[in-house]
A and B are shown apart, each in its own frame.
Chain A
Amino acid sequence: MAKALRARRRQVSGWITLRRGVQYAALLIFIVLFVEARNGGWPGETANVFMRLDPLAMLGQLISSRIVLAGSALALLTIALTIAFGRAWCGWLCPLGTLLDLFSLRRWRGNRAAPRDSWRAVKYVLLLTILAAALFGNLTFMIFDPITLLYRTVSTSVWPALDQAVTAIESALYSLPALRPMVSSFESLIRPSVLPTAPAYYRDALLLAAVFIGVVALNVLASRFWCRYLCPLGGLLGLLSKFSFVRRRVSVERCNECGLCAQSCPTGTIDPDKGYASDPGECTLCLECLDSCHRAGTKFSAAAPRVEWQPYDPGRRHLLVAFGTAITAISLFRSDAVSRRENPRLIRPPGARENDLPTKCIRCGECLRACPTNGLQPALVEAGLAGLWTPVLVPRLGYCDYSCSACGQACPVQAIPPLALDEKRQQVIGWSYIDQNRCIAWADGRDCIVCEEMCPLPDKAIKLEEASITREDGSVAKIKLPHVLRERCIGCGICEYKCPVNGEAAIRVYVPASDTGA
């Protein structure tokens, strides 16, 4: 008997090692996909695999835009996995879940009692709110999807900060002449193959990092707090897990009610009051309970599912709250002043404006990652709160590269259409306007021509007019005054980006007026 138990425990710890291996491998793949895509190594449709495996993001997009995308079918894999094994995605694959395990903050948590079980309903309400809002064509709440949350954070804060940290160390070492060759070869090793050659800057980097740190910090209240109480994808997979086949079962004969399994459970779903049974909607199949049980009283086995409803599971009341929240939020979004007068600086990626981006964008940040000039930024206020963290081109930070169509290729939901380069080069995303009060040539009477020089169009959308000006001392000078040719300008913004005037550029891109739009 003891011998059999020992063999079983060895087997169990093998399974747990395997789970950890799979978790780290999935996280590693997530990172490698990001890095490779960031450097243009792999095409967008390979790089955004995680996003397309996410059934919540795909379902939300489907409901909101009413467009069936072939690429979304990948999410069926996750659904099939969940029907078979329950929330194994959460315990074995989700990169955010793995990070929450890595930063479990166990020591800080101590023996603090977890929040009440009724809090688990929050994730279901959040899920239903996302789906209800999607019915009305709104995807604002998709910012709470764990995969988009993690990807956005990595794109806009983790990676740029890591790059800055490496650069700081390199610069420090580079200042020692003896180390220069070494630093130099290290530099050519990691750039551009791993880290970018130019640093990236994001306006909301701190805010996005703070949100992520907040999600991790919640682990202080309960292990995997996010997964238990908040994660809407966890909620969706939890509902599906009601019908899952493989699930945890407790043997009444063997259990001596020691309670070790309940202590070991990272989602705290093993209930001593119900004979140490667990909710398949909460169990992530991490198998820690098997390891904790000294009497082999717990096992995971397949059988026809028996659907059990928990008190915190979504009911009529939750549904009403979700609908109410969604409708209230959408009504308020629509009352926002940006609905009356759109922000003229809300320059969308090529083709996205015509494509009704807000009803399709899942706020994942793949396009932000793909933009080689760092011009695409997560919108903070430009599109109102409803458009939070949707992509907007900020030409002063980066321009739309004439030789690039990466954002459309990267977008997992075709909110940015996948334009071929030739099409993208014709796509008008804005128009440049010269501010003659600030322009070096117009206002100061000095030659500059940078905007004309930089204009990538074969026949230049900026022309220079030769003009004579009389200076204060009476001398006459010839200067070149820039003009924008409206019918040629596509609004790429390189003129604004490179304009040497300090602060706000003297040539700026605005969204074309809709009645005269291209």
Chain B
Amino acid sequence: MKDFTRRDFLRLAAVGLGTAALSACGQPTASTPSAAPSPTGLPATATQLPTTAPTLASTVASAASATATTVPAATSAPTATAMVRPDLVVARGPDPAELVRQALKAIGGMEQFVKSGDDVIVKPNICVAYHTYEYAATTNPWVVGAVVKLALEAGARRVRVMDFPFGGTPQEAYAISGIEEQVKAAGGEMEVMSRLKFVDTEIAGATSLKRANIYEDILNAVVINVPIAKHHSLAGLTLGMKNLMGTIRDREVIHANIGQRLTDLTSRIRPVLTIVDAVRILTNNGPTGGDLNDVKKLDTLIVSSDIVAADSYAASLFGLKPEEISYISAGAKAGLGRSDLKSLKIEEVAVGG
């Protein structure tokens, strides 16, 4: 047997790299993903109301060991009435996971949003690695876990959970928030966001944020946005739209014109569902938190496919009007959703414990 010499190795490596380089030149530039996930920018109502016939709606009940006391008509009604499903569900009760189950049941079931075989990404708020969930700086782990479980039950091919913390490492933050444990128990995966996958993406129809380095997988997956409702000194509050800042790499640019730029970003990402965790809210010293005196336990969860509506309702929990939060009014104005709570069909669900 002839020895494999260094020269042989170098020759082989050169041929391999040369081939790779040649084929790279032959490809179109890779920044635009080959399979565009949704029409970019525009029509706000496209995903707002599910237009496909909700044939599976009646099977939803099997998932829940229902303890809901005010059972809404929609869930038990035949499919014909499904079109009058609520725009937004507010669930209240002591068990966070149960809140998720009942709220999703009330809004028409996870199957409305996650189809069999979908690649699902759940985006909680895991902004820092500093504190446990009691400090309300990061999304409630049981809420995230329940969302993962429902998405898997709805037939998702896989469910990944990720965020891009600004304080501490992702690994630390995933562990300290308690989210990693619940996600793994529910059968989901925690993904540490990779530098490679932030791709320079054009945002069609944007008026301020025309390009951003967005995480490619989030552009291609079915996104469920699971923010926690928190104080933030510039934005006023950090809610669903603000939570999407964690999907881009150079987020400093957002602050300069936060209302419009978050609107532009949201128009590109379009989560199918926004689930605002208000089990605990942080009323001051956000977004990092750390003082239990700033935490208020509300045992509340808000679910809507309309991100602007979800944020508007969440703002009301802080005694704020939607128009007081710049990105909510900008989002409503751009047609991303509705901020006028009176015009929404809101269903309140009390979930006993």
> Which residues of A approach B to under 8 Å, CB–CB?
39-40, 167, 170-177, 183-184, 187-188, 191-192, 197-199, 372-373, 401-404, 446-450, 452-460, 464, 480, 494, 498, 500
- Given contacts A175-B30, A402-B128, A500-B252, list 15 more A-B pairs with CB under 8 A: A174-B30, A174-B196, A187-B196, A192-B170, A197-B192, A197-B194, A198-B169, A198-B195, A372-B169, A403-B167, A404-B168, A450-B255, A457-B290, A480-B233, A498-B252
Does B343 sit within 8 A of A, measured CB to CB? no
Does B95 sit within 8 A of A, measured CB to CB? no
Contact call A460/B168, Cβ cutoff below 8 A = no
Alpha-carbon separation in the docked complex, A198 to B173 (Å) = 15
CB distance from B195 to the nearest CB of A (A): 7
Interface residues of B in 195-215 (CB under 8 A from A): 195-197
**What are the 8 tightest A-B residue pairs by CB atom distance, in nearest-first order?**
A458-B290, A458-B291, A403-B129, A449-B234, A403-B168, A175-B30, A500-B252, A372-B169
CB distance from A153 to the nearest CB of B (A): 24
B288 touches which one: A39, A373, A455, A464 (CB < 8 A)? A455
Minimal Cβ-Cβ distance residue in B for A183: B196
Contact call A175/B128, Cβ cutoff below 8 A = no
A459 CB contacts on chain B under 8 angstroms: 285, 290-291
Contact call A456/B167, Cβ cutoff below 8 A = yes
Contact call B27/A403, Cβ cutoff below 8 A = no
B196 touches which one: A170, A450, A452, A460 (CB < 8 A)? A170
> Which residues of B approach A to under 8 Å, CB–CB?
20-21, 23-24, 27, 30, 34, 128-130, 166-173, 176, 191-197, 232-234, 252, 255-256, 285, 287-291, 294
With A198-B195, A459-B291 already in contact, the answer to whether A172 and B20 are too (CB < 8 A) is: yes
Contact call A171/B168, Cβ cutoff below 8 A = no
Contact call B252/A403, Cβ cutoff below 8 A = no
B252 CB contacts on chain A under 8 angstroms: 450, 498, 500
A-B contact count, CB below 8 Å? 117
A464 CB contacts on chain B under 8 angstroms: 233
A172 touches which one: B24, B34, B287 (CB < 8 A)? B24
A454 CB contacts on chain B under 8 angstroms: 166-167, 288
B195 CB contacts on chain A under 8 angstroms: 167, 197-199
Alpha-carbon separation in the docked complex, A457 to B294 (Å) = 13
Minimal Cβ-Cβ distance residue in B for A187: B194
**Chain A binding surface, main DSSP class:** loop
B23 CB contacts on chain A under 8 angstroms: 176
Alpha-carbon separation in the docked complex, A187 to B216 (Å) = 14
A456 CB contacts on chain B under 8 angstroms: 128, 130, 167, 288, 290
Contact call B196/A197, Cβ cutoff below 8 A = no
B196 CB contacts on chain A under 8 angstroms: 167, 170-171, 174, 183-184, 187
With A167-B195, A174-B196 already in contact, the answer to whether A447 and B234 are too (CB < 8 A) is: yes
Q: What are 26 A-B residue pairs whose CB atoms fall within 8 Å in the complex? A: A40-B171, A40-B172, A173-B20, A174-B30, A175-B30, A177-B27, A177-B30, A184-B196, A191-B192, A197-B169, A197-B193, A197-B194, A372-B168, A372-B169, A403-B168, A403-B176, A404-B168, A404-B172, A446-B256, A453-B233, A456-B130, A456-B290, A458-B289, A458-B291, A460-B285, A500-B255
Alpha-carbon separation in the docked complex, A17 to B291 (Å) = 61
A453 touches which one: B176, B193, B232 (CB < 8 A)? B232
B291 CB contacts on chain A under 8 angstroms: 458-459
B129 touches which one: A171, A401, A452 (CB < 8 A)? A401
B24 CB contacts on chain A under 8 angstroms: 172, 175-176
Alpha-carbon separation in the docked complex, A197 to B232 (Å) = 27
B169 CB contacts on chain A under 8 angstroms: 40, 192, 197-198, 372-373, 401
Alpha-carbon separation in the docked complex, A452 to B284 (Å) = 12
Alpha-carbon separation in the docked complex, A498 to B34 (Å) = 34
Contact call B288/A188, Cβ cutoff below 8 A = no
B192 touches which one: A192, A402, A404 (CB < 8 A)? A192
